[in-house]
Amino acid sequence: MIKHLKNILLPLLAVLALTGCKDDPQRHLQLAQWYSQKGLVDEAILEYREVTRLLPADIKSLSRADYELLAEAHYRLALMYTKKDWWDYALEEAETSFELLPTREHYDIVTLLRKRVVLQDIGS
Is the pTM value of this prediction over 0.85? no
User: Domains plus CATH for the chain?
Assistant: 2-123 (1.25.40.10)
* Torsion on CA atoms 46, 51, 54, 58, rounded to nearest 10: -130
pLDDT of residue 46: 97
pLDDT of residue 15: 52
Provide the H-helix boundaries in the chain. Answer: 2-20, 25-37, 41-54, 64-83, 87-100, 104-123
Distance, CA of 77 to CA of 119 (rounded, Å): 21
Instruction: Flag residues of the chain having pLDDT under 50.
Output: none
Give per-residue pLDDT as tens, 39-70: 999 999 999 999 999 998 788 889 999 999 99
For helices 87-100 and 104-123, what crossing angle results, to 10°?
160
Distance, CA of 48 to CA of 77 (rounded, Å): 6
Q: For residue 71, what are the CA distances in angstroms to 14, 55, 96, 110?
A: 25, 11, 7, 13
